[in-house]
Amino acid sequence: MSRLRRMPRQQQPLARPVRRRSYDQFCATARALDSVGDRWTLLIVRELLAGPRRYTDLHADLPGVSTDVLASRLKDMEQGGLVTRRRLPPPAAASVYELTERGHGLLPVLAALAEWGAPAIGDRRPTDAVRAHWFALPLLRALDALTHAGVVEVRLDEGEFHVRVGGSSGPLDGAGVYGDGPAAHADARIVLDDEVCLALGRGEFTLAEAVKDGRVEVVGEGPLAGELRGE
């Protein structure tokens, strides 16, 4: 026995207060990853880009995250200035988390990741969870060339979501860039299936082409709907 300690190894833990893990590199990318590189953090941002959400809603739409990790991430993100916690008025005894402006600034990061990941998404595996609004990020790429601004409601097999488009995705009005479920007021609605939605995100064809051969159906009368039809 006595696996004779091979080294004194008595080096103190250095009295590190709590030391959040950092890459300790003077590099913009590394600093960004210090903030959002932890597991689940960017997916929490993806959820919050849909607008303010409660803890339980976040937990429901992030299958696999454990309760303590979610709570811990939200705390870290609040301290890091990515999210704020807002207590709802008395009737509803609950609080919601929402992105700060800094947190919203991660949209290009999420969009770049979605664009890179779209070609490799493959088929849906039996163990894969799905939510309709997860298709919003890839789709935004196909919609960001629109000149008219407004809200587009998107109907997929999995459910529906809505996105704000046009106006260079102007200043947020407190709501998200996209949202789950139907929109309060939609300027147009499109109906398509997952495959077509992902192919649009991959840039395999344009929205106008997809509308033309019937893979995407456009409902609505306004100028935004007209532009979606390629008119």
Partner DNA sequence: CGGCATCCGTGACGATACTG
Partner DNA sequence: CAGTATCGTCACGGATGCCG
Longest distance between any two alpha carbons in the chain, whole Å: 82
Question: How many Cα atoms are found within 13 Å in the side-chain-facing hemisphere of 192?
Answer: 27
Write 111-119 long-range contacts (CB < 8 A, 24+).
111/137, 111/140, 111/141, 113/42, 114/138, 114/141, 114/201, 115/141, 115/201, 118/198, 118/201, 118/202, 119/202
Site string for a second copy, 149-178 (x = CB under 8 A): ------------------------------
Estimate to the nearest angstrom the gap between the alpha carbon of 131 and the chain centroid: 11
Asked if 33 interacts with DNA (CB under 7 A), we say no
Q: What's the min distance (Å) between Cβ of 31 and a second copy? A: 4
Distance CA 51, CA 184 (A): 13
Distance CA 114, CA 134 (A): 10
Helix (H, G, I), strand (E, B) or coil at 212: helix
> Judged by CB under 7 A, which stretch of 60-68, 105-113, 118-126, 154-162 contacts DNA?
60-68
Q: What's the min distance (Å) between Cβ of 29 and DNA? A: 16
Q: What's the min distance (Å) between Cβ of 61 and DNA? A: 12
Among 71, 88, 130, 145, binds a second copy (CB under 8 A): 130
> Judged by CB under 7 A, which stretch of 88-96, 105-113, 146-154, 165-173 contacts DNA?
88-96
Q: In the complex with DNA, which residue's Cβ is closer, 37 or 223? A: 37
Binding site residues, a second copy, CB under 8 A: 23-33, 35, 37, 39, 42-43, 46, 63-64, 105-106, 108-118, 120-122, 124-125, 127-131, 134-135, 137-138, 198, 201
